[in-house]
Amino acid sequence: MLFDTNNDGLISFPEYIFFLTILSIPESSFSVAFKMFDLDNDGGIDKQEFKKVMGLMRTLNRQGACHRDGLRIGFKVSGSVEDGGLLEYFFGSDGSKRLEHETFVQFLRDLHDEMLRLEFAHYDCKSQGTISAKDFALSMVASADIRYINKFLDQVDELKMEPSLKDLRITLEEFKNFAELRKRLQPFTMALFSYGEVNGLLSKKDLKRAANQVCGISLSDNVVDMVFYMFDANRDGSLSSDEFLRVMERRETDISQPRDAGFAGLLSCWMDCTKNCSSKKLF
């Protein structure tokens, strides 16, 4: 395992932070940083340059921003975040190899793909190759604002009352396509808002067209039906795009956006939870 350097089935705290940093890197941001540190413009960087790139990326990461020199404030942790098994994988045991830009970009894509497979497998606990409408709905609102989470959970519970949706199943390909849409949120958001401003309504056909024509992503009828079930607030056949895009954005930026940490962050989270979450939903 790339992040389990001593093969004991565990990863160290620095390796954990490094892993989160890797997952939080937008491909475009890494490409910019990579090119800035590629001083001889040969398309590759050495080990020390890579550590500088990752250090820069870590400062933009929610977890990494709460750490100083790879060490979490208030905890005694040995080792640097940028020193891990991945370095040996990319640069060899002696650290002399160079890392090509395309090699790392493909690694990022493969890593994100594997994380999606693991998330899908979490819901597909019986290995059926599909997940239920309820599980897909839960995955959609996993990062929703805590002030509205009870409303979304109520909607998920009410799925069993919807004859056309309660037995619906989502495949891995459909799951991955929807996740890919989150990575292209900026053009997708612009398309939805501009079209909504002109026409006033956003139908299922409009949503599919925006995803396909603007982002090159094909959304299935099943996925679109589920999106409208969760985010057509007035049940008038028009998508509540503000709410939908807000949830999508929170999910995509959940790792990378800095938030409060330590005791203050814990207390703030607890206060939000007690104010906005019913005990019936929590237990």
Residue 263's pLDDT band (cuts 50, 70, 90): very low
Q: What is the mean pLDDT of residues 208-224?
A: 96
Rounded CA gap, 66 and 98, in Å? 30
C-alpha to C-alpha distance for 137 and 133, rounded to whole angstroms? 6
Taking only the tens place, the pLDDT of each residue in 151-192 is 999 999 999 999 999 999 999 999 999 999 998 988 999 999
pTM across the whole model: 0.77
Give the pLDDT of residue 31.
81
**How confident is the model at residue 15, as a pLDDT?**
75
Exposed e or buried b per residue across 178-199, where buried means at least 16 C-beta atoms within 10 angstroms of its C-beta: bbbbeeebeebbebbeebbeee
State whether 146 and 226 are in the same domain.
yes
Q: 249 with 130, same domain?
A: yes
Question: What does the pLDDT look like over 17-33, one tens digit per residue?
Answer: 777 778 877 777 778 87
Mean of pLDDT over the chain? 80
Same domain, 138 and 79: no
- Strand locations in the chain (E): 44-45, 67-68, 71-72, 99-100, 130-132, 169-171
Q: Convert the pLDDT of each residue in 234-249 to its tens digit.
A: 888 999 988 999 999 8
Residue 7 lies in a domain: no
**What pLDDT is recorded for position 252?**
76
Mean pLDDT of 105-122: 91
Alpha carbon of residue 207 to chain centroid: 21
Residue 130 to residue 111: CA distance in whole angstroms? 21
Same domain for 66 and 39: yes
DSSP state of 98: -
Number of domains in the chain: 2
